[in-house]
Amino acid sequence: MPSTPKREVRTGAAASSDAMDVLLGFGTLMMRAGNTATRTREWIEAIGRRTGFDAISVSLSLDSITASVRRSGERITAMREIGPPPDQCLAHCGAGTACKNRGNHTE
- The answer for residues whose C-beta is within 8 angstroms of residue 81's C-beta and 6 or more apart is 28, 63, 64, 102, 103
Cβ-contact 82, 101 below 8 angstroms: no
Q: Note the pTM of the prediction, 2 decimals.
A: 0.65
Fold classified for 12-93: Pantoate--beta-alanine Ligase; Chain: A,domain 2 (3.30.1300)
pLDDT in tens, 39-90: 999 999 999 999 899 999 999 998 999 999 999 889 999 999 998 766 655 5
Mean pLDDT of the chain: 79
9 three-class SS: coil
The ranges assigned to domains in the chain are 12-93
d(CA 96, CA 76): 32
Q: Which amino acid, residue 21?
A: D
| Alpha helices in 1-107, H assignment, sequence order | 12-32, 37-50, 86-93
Q: Cα(60)–Cα(86) distance, rounded to whole angstroms? A: 19
Looking at the chain, how many residues does it have?
A: 107
